[in-house]
A and B are shown apart, each in its own frame.
Chain A
């Protein structure tokens, strides 16, 4: 699923009596059937990926787990699109049946009125003709007008439902500028850099290591990844290091210069109970602010992108309360960012945002909120049930999705979660999510 959608609303022109009489009802219903069939097929294909990747008997370990996450994430995305498409076909079908019923209602009376030598306005008024319309035509006029009004209401309702489903196709919010961006394929002829060839440097700090992949001094974009609960262990450091190297290699294949930092210099909660408190996040926030300021100083031209996963978004939120050097913040599976409104997050953009060179380390009161916040919530991520523990859903801090979209996403969560709670672990390895991360860097 790609960037946030913006949708049109309403009709180019309202439905008229003549439109109803000529309505292509059969074609609409046939389109609904075809869309339903395709949606169901996509859903089934997505569904079976889960079984095909249950391979612990044949293969186990971190690589097996990550391969599984990567494949299941794509399968799940396909499943959600399939189910959403099926729902859209129901909207089309309902609209078609309603229009069909109204068309049947108006065709006979409208023909009769015309045979009597009168005209019918687009709104259903009986006008003109040889004489003033007699009073006995009034009931027919009422029927025609009511049918047109009902058809217009049906179109508004169907459009509203379709807008919500269209918006639901996106797993991302608050990044309207991403709309229309296309995936960037590997540059032909570019020398392939493999993750194992990406230089890695590990710096031990007070609370944990900071792992650098790529050249932070020269990169045009630097991603700082802040992980969440349970990330304070060796296996997490290793998988984040592999992820960081992979992102640098993928960016190089696209002809982009990226460095990735897995920042573990905070006392990450070891379990959900500790994670329910913001204390650890507050404890790490100043160190993250200092780290980002140092990054800005060491490479003033780079675009800084802070990416938080789960509790890591709380750390970023707490840091941004007092001003964080970041051109963009991306939150993955956030339980809230420790703020109640967008204006409490103060991000500072780099040199490409204006004449700010040399002024990167500044007092918190000088931070404005020009940076961008992108939120991602994968369908079936159980963290959705923890939203509120650390403040509202970050997606609602800006221009949030409508109620219809939220309702549909909630339904999808329920459907997907029946397979388990592992969707919370997909973000780093979901090709669609990381592709959007890359696209956001081109914004």
Chain B
């Protein structure tokens, strides 16, 4: 979890929301955030499984095997980063909900 990114994103949402947030149903949004966080976990697991995939070379001809390995490494790494981004953004929405409730803008 990147605490700084979450705090900064939540604060940006607060800036964008302006002086009043009239339509926010914080509890319902939190339910969605929970499902988004589950998706982060599941996607992280899928990217970890992908990372463990090895395409063996055909004899000493390792060109295709190397390329496939590079693809898998990058794809799993990027998927993991996007899953993390997703989780950070979801938590930022949650923090935003908390702040809005605390500040009584509803």
Contacts and interface: CB of A to CB of B under 8 A. Distances in A.
Interface of A: 1-2, 5, 7-16, 18-20, 22-24, 27-28, 31-32, 34-35, 37-39, 41-42, 45-46, 48-49, 52-53, 55, 57-64, 66-67, 70-71, 74-75, 77-78, 81-82, 84-85, 88, 91-92, 95, 99, 151-152, 155, 158-159, 162-163, 165-166, 169, 183, 185-186, 190, 192, 194-196, 238-239, 241-243, 245-246, 249-250, 253, 431-432
B74 A8 contact: no
B72 to A, nearest CB: 7
Chain A binding surface, main DSSP class? helix
B29 A46 contact: no
Chain B binding surface, main DSSP class? helix
Q: Which size class do B's interface residues fall under?
A: 35 or more
Contact of A38 (B25, B46, B61, B93): B46
B42 interface: yes
Given A46-B43, A155-B64, A192-B7, A58 B55 contact: no
Contact of B58 (A20, A42, A71, A81): A20
Interface in B1-40: 2-5, 7-9, 11-18, 21-25, 28-29, 32, 35-36, 39
11 contacts: A7-B70, A12-B66, A15-B59, A16-B61, A20-B59, A34-B49, A39-B50, A59-B29, A67-B89, A84-B75, A241-B15
A439 to B, nearest CB: 12
Contact of B61 (A19, A35, A59, A194): A19
B5 A250 contact: yes
A11 B61 contact: yes
Given A13-B60, A92-B55, 5 more contacts: A2-B78, A38-B46, A169-B75, A241-B15, A432-B78
Which 3 pairs from chain A and chain B are nearest by CB? Answer: A19-B59, A11-B63, A38-B50
Contacts of A11: 61-64
Contact of B71 (A34, A169, A253): A169
A194 B46 contact: no
A23 B90 CA distance: 46
Contact of A88 (B8, B22, B59, B71): B71
Most chain-A Cβ atoms within 10 A of its Cβ — which of B5, B8, B85, B96?
Answer: B8
B28 to A, nearest CB: 4
Nearest to A65: B16
B2 A185 contact: yes
A150 to B, nearest CB: 13
Contacts of B8: 192, 194-195, 246, 249-250, 253
